[in-house]
Amino acid sequence: MVGKERALEILETALKHSKGDQTEAVLMAGDSYLTRFATNYIHQNVAEKSGNLGVRVIVGKKIGRASTNKLDAEAIKRAVAEAYRVALLQPENEDFKSLPGPRPVQEVEGSHATATADFSPEERARAVRAIVNQSKAKGFESSGAFSTSATQVAVANSLGVRAYHRFTNANISTVVMSDTSSGYGSQMSTDASEIDAVEVGRVAVAKCAMSQESIKAEPGEYTVILEPEAVGDMMMFLGYLGFSAQAYQEGRSFVCDNLGNKVTGENISIWDDGLDPAGMPLPFDFEGVPKRKVELITNGVARGLVWDSYTAGKEEDQESTGHAIPGFHGFSGPFPLNLMMNSGDSSLEDMVKNTDRGILVTRFHYTNPVHPVKTLITGMTRDGTFLIEGGKVKSAVKNFRFTQSILEALSRVEMISSDRKLVGGFFGGSLVPALKINGFNFTGVTEF
């Protein structure tokens, strides 16, 4: 870890060397550790210390970017010079107004855990062993990974923005397989000491065991119970397809012509909150703008979008909500990194008991968008798909392919779990419950 003092020193060096009218420097640096296992055996244990400096230089209305993973003075100077050179080659961007100015940043609790930053390879190995032992006891094979990381983000610009934050992440996942089945388990937290590897293994092994004798069910519309991993997948794509102000301004968001209109069932509320310690908190965005809670869908009604300084600058009375993402990652436009959905008053067991006939889905796989405005996505079920009859899980079924509008699915939610789970996304994570949904469209069946 480079530390706060060194991080801000790097940014000041970048600003000092810039010839631009405005300059922004963003540093992401940290330590990451990964233990991989396959066929009940740890086969890889790696550690990486990395740092990446992204520079944005503005000359008039011309914008240039450059980045470097070398953080010595000469490398920083070269990156700044390259961003300036690129800016001079660009056409004028008439929509650009300005980089953001400084605003107070609220401190957040719970984003950095010493237990995660200090988590050892031996501790990760013991967690993996808890999964492997359960898998071997059943004659199955487990594979997966346990990663821990400690990251720093620092942002500075020539208008006076100075922001620094550190956070940790721990993530364990496994797929347990037999000759005819598979099961999945995972947990994610800022605090590695909260990871319960025994429970992750128990869930994955149980799903694998239940799935060994799968039957084929015909495609069609079913009542489904989606566990949080599947719900998180839908949330991630809903954020990608519609909640960005850039998507809205370009006319490719479902929010277009729908602000203030009902888009889901009244029992659905979705928001983004980078300050909530229940998620993966980050108090400012990658322009140094403070985050705040943004209501996106409230009781089924589309209420808002997430903005960065560029998209907000194109509107008369709009300001950034603190949702800029790092430009050197190849993405553009604002993005909701901390999506959350409301909880309900049911349990997964209640949902099963109250279902005459339906499908229980552990998670989705290979999900892709089909039609952004209709929020139509397609993908497959995976690692534990079960037929429910008469309020009980009757048997495993072969995996389905689905083609389904997310908003239509969220308009037919019958039950919502009281428990929510943090699941990973493109950059951050989503805090989501399990959902019972009527009329979910399965379009095909696999052979496994």
Whether the CB-CB separation of 397 and 425 falls below 8 Å is answered with no
For residue 35, list its beta bridge partners.
45, 146
Nearest to 240 by CA among 432, 377, 380: 377
Domain boundary among 168, 199, 230: 199
Nearest to 440 by CA among 219, 218, 222: 222
SS3 300: coil
Predicted local distance difference test score (pLDDT) of residue 306: 98
State how far the Cα of 260 lies from the Cα of 255, in Å rounded to an integer: 9
Q: Look at residue 170 and tell me whether its pLDDT is greater than 90.
A: yes
Predicted local distance difference test score (pLDDT) of residue 425: 78
Instruction: Share the mean pLDDT of the chain.
Output: 96
Tell whether 218 and 175 lie within a shared domain. no
CATH number at residue 78: 3.30.2290.10
Predicted local distance difference test score (pLDDT) of residue 166: 96
Predicted local distance difference test score (pLDDT) of residue 331: 64
Task: Report if residue 403 sits inside a domain.
Answer: yes
Tell whether 235 and 191 lie within a shared domain. no
Tell whether 194 and 308 lie within a shared domain. no
> How many structural domains comprise the chain?
2
Please state which of the ranges 277-291, 303-317, 325-339, 387-401 shows the lowest mean pLDDT.
325-339
Task: Report if residue 208 sits inside a domain.
Answer: no
Give the Å distances, CA to CA, from 133 to 128, 145, 179, 205, 210.
9, 15, 18, 10, 18
Nearest to 351 by CA among 184, 231, 195: 231
Predicted local distance difference test score (pLDDT) of residue 328: 53
State how far the Cα of 33 lies from the Cα of 147, in Å rounded to an integer: 6
Q: Look at residue 189 and tell me whether its pLDDT is greater than 80.
A: yes
Q: Look at residue 133 and tell me whether its pLDDT is greater than 70.
A: yes
Predicted local distance difference test score (pLDDT) of residue 36: 98
Whether the CB-CB separation of 64 and 79 falls below 8 Å is answered with no
Q: Look at residue 19 and tell me whether its pLDDT is greater than 60.
A: yes
Q: How confident is the model at residue 428 (pLDDT cuts 50, 70, 90)?
A: confident
For residue 26, list its beta bridge partners.
54, 155
Task: Report if residue 206 sits inside a domain.
Answer: no
Tell whether 112 and 27 lie within a shared domain. yes
Q: Give percent of the chain above pLDDT 70.
A: 99
Tell whether 62 and 187 lie within a shared domain. yes
Domain boundary among 166, 199, 232: 199
Tell whether 168 and 289 lie within a shared domain. no
pLDDT per position as a tens digit, 234-289 = 999 999 889 999 999 999 999 999 999 999 999 999 999 999 999 999 999 999 99
Predicted local distance difference test score (pLDDT) of residue 158: 98
pLDDT per position as a tens digit, 344-383 = 999 999 999 999 999 999 999 999 999 999 999 999 999 9
Enumerate residues 6+ apart whose C-beta is below 8 A from 68. Answer: 52, 53, 75, 76, 78, 79
Q: How confident is the model at residue 448 (pLDDT cuts 50, 70, 90)?
A: confident
Residue positions counted in the chain: 448
Over residues 47-56, the mean pLDDT reads 96
Pairing state of beta strands 357-371 and 220-226?
parallel
Domain of residue 447: give its range. 213-448
